[in-house]
Structures are given as C-alpha cells and as structure tokens.
A and B are shown apart, each in its own frame.
Chain A
Amino acid sequence: MKKNMARRGLDMGVHPYLYIAPALIALTAVVLLPLLYAFYLSLFKTQGLNGTFVGLANYISILKEDYFWESTGRTAYFTIVSVMLEFILGMLVALLLNEKFRWRGIARAMLILPWALPTVVNGVLWSWIFNSSYGSLNGLLSQLGLIDKYINWLGEPGIAMNCVIFADVWKNYAMIALILLAGLQTIPADYYEAAKIDGANAVQRFFGVTLPLMKPSILVCLVLRTMEAFKVFDIVYTMTKGGPANGTQVISYYTYQTTFQYSQFGTGAALSYLVSLFILLMAIVYVRLITGKGNES
C-alpha cells in the first residue's frame, strides 16, 4: 500500500514541480535573490550601497571584534535559558491541561492569550511592569514588604537580560505548551494502563511512556524555539534597545546597529551571514535528529 502511493507520486512526472512552481518563484524573488545579493554585498567595504571589493575582509574583521563574540555569548545565554525555561514551563502546563478538570476548555483557550500578543506589545507591556519608578512589579514587591527601595530592573546589565528573558518566556512558553498538548493527546490511554498494571508510578510513567512517545513533538518545538530565540530582536528593541551598557545587546541587534545605524551594509551583510551559519548548523543537527527518528519507524 505504502509502496504503491510512493510509486504513484513518482509517476506524476512534471506535475508536482508545476504545482510547486508559483511558490518557488515567489521564494526565489523574495528570499533567494536577496540572499545572494546580501552575500555579494558582504564582500564589499560599502559607502551607501557602493563600495570597493574587499573579499572576505569583512568576515575576518568581524571575527576579530570583541563586540561580536560578546554579543554571540549573550545570544547563546538568552537562547539556552529562555528555551529551557519555556520548555519546562510548557511541559508542566501541557501535562496539567491534559488532565480532565472543570473549565478545562476555558483554561486551554486562555493559554493561547500571551502567545497571541504581538512581541512588540509584549515588550512595551513588560518594560512598563519593570519600570523602576512606576512599574507594578516594584509596587507589588514593596507593598508585600519584600523590598524597601525600588529596584531598577532594566537598569542593571545583569538583571536586565534576565528580565528580557522573563518577558520572552511569558509569551512563548504557550506555543510549546500547545504543541506538547497536541502531542500528549496522541498517546493512547492503554499504554498508561499497561504501565500502571506493571506497577509504574506517575514519575516512571512520565519518563517511561510519555517522554519517549513525545519525542517528535518535543523536537519540533525545540527546533522552532531555538532558532527563533537565536534571532531574537524585537523584544530587545522594545524593552532595552541593547542597553544598559550593552547588557542586552544580542547578535541580531548588533547586526541591526551595524547595518542601519552605522550604514555599513557590507559588514552588516557579513554579520548576518555569520549568524545564519550558526543557525544553519543548528538546523542541520535538528533536522538530522528528526529525520533520523523517521527512518527507524
């Protein structure tokens, strides 16, 4: 049966390509051409969009730059911490929402709210909550008597990054929870029953049954979130603009600054290629993981 379908797919000849052509043309125009142009640009020392050919000099000077490695480090920190927290939180929420309880429908619908907020709105919202003079977080903490002096959340390089991560987690854990919830619902109840009969407790059932069967869903959300988190820009732009003292200057923000504030389009293009290289490597690892799993079954 399966073989049959595959054969029929091949027999269709040029048809699949015809159907794919419109999308392919559109992608070529808006993605592939700018991509090639950006690479071309990255080989020039630019003034405006004109410039002199310098070969790989832009790449070399970036790799020697402290700012580049500092912001790469910050981006890695942001990515690892935020994805980890989002995953743990998302998993817990998904497990909870998979249980039967009253108002479950409403709870599930509410889950989607933070994710439905545009990132910019989310950023503005949290920057007001964290605001040191009027922010509700300071208000809450001081009314509870936990702090006697207002804390300048976004004003300390170390704290600011974690505040941005917090805002990002608040919004994005919802997506992970949704995907995981969908994954959870595909696990047949008899597996759990069988495990129970064998005497497995809740924790053992989670690690023995749930987690292995959830692997595809887990991979999907980890892939999506890691790559998105590595490209993070909008929430940093709205909350801290890379400050204080570059404490939240992530790699995309650095690229933006180089390109649009210093008008160094060549260096900017080279930077985005380097960032893309990092992401490409991650993508390959992840895709290997996913397709590797597919071949086994």
Chain B
Amino acid sequence: MKKTLKRTLGLLLVLCITVGLLAGCGSSGGSTAAPSGGEEAGEEVVTIRVMSSDDFAGFRTSVIAEFEEANPGIKIDFQSVGYDALHQKEVTALAAGSDTYDIVDVDCIWTPEYVTNGYIECIDDRLTDEMKTGIAPVAMDTLMYEGKYYGLPMFNDLFFMYYNKDILSQAGVTDMPATWDEFTEVCQQMQEAGLIDYGSAWGWAQAEGLICYYMTFLKGFGGSLTDEEHNPTVNLPENVAALQYMVDSLYETNISDPASVTSDDRMAIDLFSQGKTPFVINWSFAWSVFNDPEQSAVADKVGVMLVPGTGDVKSATCAGSMGLSITSTCKHKDEAWKFIEFLASKEIQKRQAIEAGALPIWEELYTDAELIEQHPALEAMLEQVGYAHNRPSLVWYNEFSDVLQVEIQNALTQNKTPQQALDDAQAKALEIQKKY
C-alpha cells in the first residue's frame, strides 16, 4: 500500500515536471469580459478592444481621445505589442474563437491565413465609393484576398532608400547610384577615402525583414519568388544573382556591415542614424526616427532616393503595409468599423503623415501642398511607390518564408553557395505547398 502510494506520488511528480512545456500549447483564450465603463444617461457604452503593432501606436493612441469625444457611445481599449510578437498574440486569441479583440492589426502576409481560417470579416459592403477609388491600390491590396476586402490599410509602407547628404557631399558624389553595381562602386569609393567603414547595414537576421530585403534585391534583378499560378520559383537564375550580390557585399566587395546577418529590420537603422553609413534601406517609420534629434545624429541631413535596380529594371522595392480588420467574433462590428474608418480618414491620414512620417493611403494627399511642405521627402517617396512589389499572397506563406530565411542565411553565412541554398529552398517550398 505504502509502496503504491509512493509510486503514484512519484508518477505524479514526473507528470508535473513534464507538463510545464505542454501547458503553453493548449493555450486558453481567456474571455475578458470588459466592463463597460461609466454609463451615460441610459446609453450603453461599447468598448472596442484593439490589438495593434507598436509601429505608429504612439500616433494612434494620441487620436483616441478625439474619437471618443466625437463618439460618446464608444470607448477604445487600445493595446500594442512589437511586430514580432503580434502574430502569435492575435492567432492564439482568434484561433480559440474568443472575443478578446474586436479589431486586429494585420500584416499583408497574414491576410490569406486570417481569411481562410475565418478570423476576420469581409468588409466589401462597408466600403464607400470614395474608398474604392481614392485609396492607393498597392495599399488596398494589403487586406485583399481572392477579390474581397477584409479591412482598411493604415499606411502605405514600403522600403525606401535613405541617404546621408553630408557624407555624400563630402565624398563629392553628385549622381546617385541608379544600379546595384553603381551602388557598390560609390560605397567602395567612400570606404577607400576613409569616410565610412561600410556602405550600409541591413536587417538580414533570420526574420521576416530578411525576406523584404531579399524581395527588394530579387525584384531589382528581375526575379520572382512565385509564378502566376502561385507555384514557387525560388531558384530562378535572377534570384540566384540577387543573392550572390548580397553575399558578395559581405565577403567580396565588403560594402555591408557584417553585423547585418544578426540585425533585424528595426536594428538596421542604428548605424545610419549615428551618421556612420551613407545609405540604408528601411520602412517609412525610419524617416521620423532619423529626423528626431533625440534619437539620431543625422536629423535634417537625410534624403530619400530611388532604390537602385539593374539593367532592365529601373528600381524595385518591397511593400509592407498593414491594416486594421474587424474580427469575426466582434460583437459590435458597426462601432469597430467607425474607429477603423476614423483612422483611415483623410484628415487623420494627413496628420499621421506629418506627425509620424507614414505615407498616407489616399492618393489625393500625395499632391497636398501643405503635406509636401511639412514632409520634404514625400515626393521622392511617392516616386518609389510606383516600383513597389508585394510579397506572394499565399496561405502557406509563413512556413515558406521561414524556409527561405534559413536558406538565405545559409548563403549569407557561407554555409552553402547561393545556388545550392536556393535549390534547397525550392525543394522544401514544393513540399510545403503540397501540405496545404
């Protein structure tokens, strides 16, 4: 008897030690019934819970009070997390079918997944004619899947090439590099003159940002990750050439900071904002970081130029807009839509451009005189919009992206040749495609 009891207790102990790991998996959605705060004269106050990415969260928070004042029946409960934690945060709540969030921030690459799993609402019948014709198509596509719309983009974001005016004028560079070969030459010239250690730092760590950088090069070299039928075409010769250029920039031409391999796209701007590199490619939020004297040593010295291309391609870059969607579990969809509509309105979009540096979604704002005056890089940024490419829209994108990240890193750390790495990535991509 005593022995069996001891044995049972021992077994229980073993179990307890083991399960710690599992507990994380069967995550519970946890219903958070938000108490509706302060009821006003018989009118019920509806709380809308928003899960947003940290990018531009500061600006969004700052306009909430205004919205609540204009809509006394609605209260906004606004939460934000870093981009890297966002997908997990949303998916755990959405997959469990809990109504934790009424509005979620959706990156363009997640749209197919969210739509096929039924996490977000189609908003086709809420779209006004003005929205359909007035919002830039490259931004509107962020939340489009199979011809239907599932939310509104909150900014029109792409990779821009920023340059340091001081360093370039010291080096006597007057013609901006228009091709990647010229880019290498210009950087090497400045390195030989002792002006800089490296031409640029990149966010080539194993993360989604790496795919955005790779897309930028690959499109610039005329390549493509998928064909028109959404089949992977990872090892096209153009793609190999693009990757070869990236590898060479680390080990042959030495124009890239070796730390690029461990920096993500958010960290890639550090060297540039200290005035140590003449060029950097990054999102639009970087513009306001560079021009904030508290965070940067290059305030007012930054220009925006077209991302270089190759022979046939004038310029190419990667788009990465995000937008807000109403969740399927939301109980107050009309109120949630009101808030999304408010953030997407021309007035707020214009202010977001001036205060936070985001490119607005409305095409007519691109010629707005006041905006151009307040945001000197706007014109150069607009030119870049014409050369933006979205990453492939696939249900299996996340897994595809991870395989690509690993294989590109294998090439960047010289574990494999670019050809070998991309051949392997292609083989794995075909396997993943079959699974879905």
- Whether B23 contacts A263 by the Cβ 8 Å rule is no
Which of these binds chain B: A110-118, A166-174, A211-219, A279-287? A279-287
Contact with A along B196-236 (1 / 0, CB 8 A): 00000000011100000000000000000000000000000
Residues from chain B with Cβ under 8 Å of A37 in the complex: 26
Check A263/B258 contact, CB under 8 A, given A245-B415, A279-B17, A287-B13. Answer: no
Residues from chain A with Cβ under 8 Å of B407 in the complex: 245
Check A244/B413 contact, CB under 8 A, given A37-B26, A152-B258. Answer: yes
- Whether A38 contacts B26 by the Cβ 8 Å rule is yes
- Whether A272 contacts B14 by the Cβ 8 Å rule is no
Which of these binds chain B: A41-49, A178-186, A201-209? A41-49
Which of these binds chain A: B113-121, B296-304, B363-371? B113-121
Answer yes or no: A157 CB below 8 A from chain B CBs: yes
Contact with A along B159-178 (1 / 0, CB 8 A): 00000000000000000000
- Whether A231 contacts B259 by the Cβ 8 Å rule is no
- Whether A243 contacts B17 by the Cβ 8 Å rule is no
Residues from chain A with Cβ under 8 Å of B398 in the complex: 261-263
Which of these binds chain A: B84-92, B136-144, B310-318? B84-92
Q: In the bound complex, how far is the Cα of B118 from the Cα of A37, in angstroms?
A: 22
Q: In the bound complex, how far is the Cα of B259 from the Cα of A154, in angstroms?
A: 9
Q: In the bound complex, how far is the Cα of B380 from the Cα of A23, in angstroms?
A: 64
Q: Pick the contact of A34 from B22, B94, B206, B262 — CB < 8 Å?
A: B22
Contact with B along A239-266 (1 / 0, CB 8 A): 0111111100000100101011111010
Check A261/B87 contact, CB under 8 A, given A157-B413, A252-B21, A284-B14. Answer: yes
- Whether B25 contacts A38 by the Cβ 8 Å rule is yes
Could you tell me how many residues of chain B have their Cβ less than 8 Å away from some Cβ of chain A?
53
Query: Separation in Å of the B165 CB from the closest CB of chain A?
Result: 23
Answer yes or no: B95 CB below 8 A from chain A CBs: yes
Answer yes or no: B57 CB below 8 A from chain A CBs: no
Q: In the bound complex, how far is the Cα of B402 from the Cα of A133, in angstroms?
A: 26
- Whether A265 contacts B95 by the Cβ 8 Å rule is yes
Q: In the bound complex, how far is the Cα of B399 from the Cα of A64, in angstroms?
A: 17
B380-413 CB contacts (< 8 Å) to partner A: 398-399, 402, 405-407, 409-410, 412-413
- Whether B206 contacts A47 by the Cβ 8 Å rule is no
Query: Separation in Å of the B120 CB from the closest CB of chain A?
Result: 12
